[in-house]
Copies of this chain bind each other. A is one copy, B any other.
Amino acid sequence: MTPLTIADRTFSSRLMLGTGKFPSNESMRDALDASGTEIVTVALRRADLTGGNDPFANILDFIDPERYLLLPNTSGAMNAEEAVRLARLAATAGMPKWVKLEIHPDPRYLLPDPIETLKAARTLVDEGFTVLPYINADPVLAKHLEEAGCATVMPLGAPIGTNRGIETRRQIEIIIEQANVPVVVDAGIGVPSHAAEAMEMGADAVLVNTAIAVADNPVAMANAFRLGVEAGRTAFEAGQGSQLTEASATSPLTAFLNS
């Protein structure tokens, strides 16, 4: 597989992992290892920047910053102001100046807000952040964010945590066709075949969390997603044949055996 470049960094893995919902920090650590990932996203609220008593407060102790790029996310922010504040706080606390920008005012479907996301992205890019925005599969919005200086666009396949796959396939195909920054499919990816499908379509990477964290065996599932991403990307680079309407014999049907 060719390596993936985001902003000024290069990665050999095309699978990003989230850190929510794991049964324990130990299982999370082992799943990160099995997945081969190099980019790990953490909800800023969990990282206990405030010194409070969050039971997940020590999550960062389980993620080796030498091995993984820590990607703080603004999950839980309901508007641009909250998201910007969270990102600044993370930078102040010494985390990398990268941010996965998530703004979702609706608690039921956690769908991203296009208006507030673009607004926050402009502010954060201006302040020197490397911004990876989570968005609906909206090609025009993706273009605006690219033009605003975002390092990637991260369209959703289906709402967060639903495991329903790439329901927005056509829109993501258009985003991929038009983008000059990496396209990372985020949310909805529930099984390795979904991840492989995203890569076959030409997506640059995928982000997976729920599907691995809630599996009966998260470590084995992390390995399965690693294989799925490699399968899809390898196929993309190998050059796929096209779909046909009729059947196409795999061996010539003329000259049937005469004996």
Chain A interfacial positions (CB closer than 8 Å to B):
18, 20-21, 43-46, 49-50, 54, 75-76, 82, 85-86, 89, 104-115, 118, 136, 138-141, 143-144, 158-164, 167-171, 174, 178, 190-194, 196-197, 200, 209-211, 213-218, 220-221, 223-228, 230-232, 234-235, 237-253, 255-259
Contact A246-B162, Cβ < 8 Å, known A111-B138, A174-B111, A234-B220: yes
A250 near B106: Cβ-Cβ < 8 Å: no
Contact A75-B192, Cβ < 8 Å, known A239-B216, A244-B163: no
B193 near A197: Cβ-Cβ < 8 Å: yes
Chain B nearest CB from A117 CB (Å) reads 9
Scoring A18, A105, A214, A218 by chain B CB atoms within 10 A of each residue's CB, the highest score goes to A214
Q: Which 5 A-B pairs rank lowest in CB-CB distance, beginning with the nearest?
A: A216-B239, A161-B248, A20-B250, A227-B231, A220-B238
> A32 CA to B192 CA in the complex, in Å?
23
A75-B251, A226-B231 given; 5 more Cβ-contact pairs under 8 Å? A107-B249, A167-B169, A192-B196, A210-B241, A225-B235
Partner of A228, one of B196, B223, B257: B196
Chain B nearest CB from A3 CB (Å) reads 16
Chain A to chain B contacts (Cβ below 8 Å), 30 pairs: A18-B250, A20-B251, A46-B251, A50-B259, A76-B251, A89-B259, A109-B247, A113-B144, A114-B140, A115-B144, A136-B140, A136-B141, A138-B138, A160-B247, A160-B250, A162-B247, A163-B241, A164-B244, A167-B171, A168-B168, A190-B241, A191-B196, A191-B197, A192-B231, A193-B200, A196-B231, A210-B241, A210-B250, A216-B239, A227-B234
A138 near B114: Cβ-Cβ < 8 Å: yes
> A174 CA to B163 CA in the complex, in Å?
17
Residues of B within 8 A of A213 (CB): 250
B246 near A108: Cβ-Cβ < 8 Å: yes
> A227 CA to B192 CA in the complex, in Å?
10
> A247 CA to B226 CA in the complex, in Å?
24
Residues of B within 8 A of A110 (CB): 247, 249
B193 near A193: Cβ-Cβ < 8 Å: yes
B111 near A140: Cβ-Cβ < 8 Å: yes
Residues of B within 8 A of A44 (CB): 257
A43 near B139: Cβ-Cβ < 8 Å: no
